[in-house]
Amino acid sequence: MHIPDNFLSTPVWLTLDGVAAPAVLWVSRRARKELDEARIPLLGVLGAFVFAAQMVNFPVGVGTSAHLLGGALLTAILGPAPAALAMTAIIATQAFVFQDGGVLALGANVFNMALAGVLAAWLPLRLFAGRRSVGLFLAGFFSVMMSAGLALAELTFSGIQMPSKLLALSVGLFAVGAIVEGTITLAVARAIERLNPRWTGAPVHQGSRVWAGITFAAVLVVVLGLFAASSAPDGVMRIGQWADLHARPVLAAPMADYSLPLGPLWLRRSAAALLGLCLVGGSAAAASYFLLRRRSS
């Protein structure tokens, strides 16, 4: 789902950079009002879990894979503004540190997944507040379809020619990923609620079991994902292959392709992934702590 550099035309990525920047600033102000200090660790560990889950691609057919976006899960647990803030931290870290998504296309990816995707998740959660399971599934489903639809529109506006059959196939593959996203969102959110039925606004000592459980799950996802993840390209990269597009990063990331120069492949990948967990979790927690300090001052 991450759009790399050289896929979008300059007017498209420049416009979306200009839209995303003030939108993230507004979201940060909203998050400052919604967050409390007791939930900062929860935001950090959930951000790390979503980062880990995004590393694990699963096949959806026709030589294409998909991965969890996680915006719906974050929205269901943290609320829309903190979720958008956490997603922005994840997407920015992926772009600058791991070369996953373009630096110039950062505004597009943030707009698609962190802003519009979170909004698309929040609406069914509100509409089906009395039917939690339905709301959680639809939140995951529509967050993916919204992000995918915007990505397809941006590629089209950038001049990429997509025949109707290719477009229909792409939408179908994204829909398969959206169903998986909805199912995972429902399962994980319910699991967290079972760990602590009062996780919303829970004091620190009541939430510690949740934080420990999510942290363990994030590490487990990274370790298992190194061996089980599909090597097939995701939907956006697959469209790029069909359109004969080639990603051209504008910056050399220190851990491109989630790898460190440490020896065997498994060690390079696992070290980079675990370091990424720390970076994402720390940056999400630090951002929320900074916002709270500004609110208190």
Question: Is it the case that residue 280 has pLDDT exceeding 90?
Answer: no
Residue 2: inside a domain, yes or no? no
Instruction: Give the global pTM.
Output: 0.89
Across 7-16, 36-45, 102-111, least confident range: 36-45
Cα→Cα distances 220→194, 232, 260, 265, Å: 19, 22, 19, 18
> Is the pLDDT confidence value at 119 over 90?
yes
Q: What amino acid occupies position 174?
A: F
Residue, of 8 and 54, whose pLDDT is higher: 8
Q: Judge whether 82 lies within some domain.
A: yes
Residue 4 lies in a domain: no
* Structural domain of 267: 10-296
Going by C-beta distance under 8 Å and a sequence separation of 6 or more, which residues neighbour residue 286? none
Q: Span 121-139, mean pLDDT? A: 95
d(CA 198, CA 43): 16
HEC secondary structure over the chain:
CCCCCCCCCHHHHHHHHHHHHHHHHHHHHHHHHHCCHHHHHHHHHHHHHHHHHHCCCEEEECCEEECCCCHHHHHHHHCHHHHHHHHHHHHHHHHHHHCCCCCCCHHHHHHHHHHHHHHHHHHHHHHCCCCHHHHHHHHHHHHHHHHHHHHHHHHHHCCCCCCHHHHHHHHHHHHHHHHHHHHHHHHHHHHHHHHCCCCCCCCHHHHHHHHHHHHHHHHHHHHHHHHHCCCCCEHHHHHHHHCCCCCCCCCCCCCCCCCCCCCCHHHHHHHHHHHHHHHHHHHHHHHHHHHHHHHHC
Q: Is 75 exposed, middle or buried (0-12, 13-18, 19+ CB in 10 A)?
A: buried
- On whether residue 290 sits in a domain, the answer given is yes
Is residue 99 within 8 A of residue 253, CB to CB? The reply is yes
Q: 137-162 b/e with 16+ CB inside 10 Å = b?
A: bbbbbbbbbbbbbbbbebbeebebeb
Q: Give Cα 156 distance to the centre of its chain.
A: 23
CB contact set of 248 (below 8 Å; sequence gap of 6+): 4, 5, 6
For the chain, give the mean pLDDT: 85
Tokens of 215: 């942290």
Inform me whether the pLDDT recorded for 230 exceeds 60.
Answer: yes
CATH number, domain of 44, equals 1.10.1760.20
pLDDT at residue 105 is higher than 80: yes
Asked if the structure places residue 236 within a domain, the reply is yes
**Number of structural domains found in the chain:** 1
What would the pLDDT profile of 250-275 be if each residue is shown by its tens digit?
Answer: 888 888 888 887 778 777 888 888 88
5 falls within a domain: no
What pLDDT is stored for residue 5 in this prediction? Answer: 94
- Cα 177 to Cα 1, 144, 220, 264: the distances in Å are 10, 7, 22, 31
Instruction: Give me 169's structure tokens.
Output: 């196939």
Rounded to an integer, the average pLDDT of 199-210 is: 49
pLDDT value at residue 209 = 61
**Side chain identity at residue 244, one-letter code:** D
Q: In the chain, pLDDT over 70 holds for what percent of residues? A: 87
More confident residue, 64 or 261: 64
Instruction: Return the top range by mean pLDDT from 117-121, 159-163, 250-254.
Output: 117-121
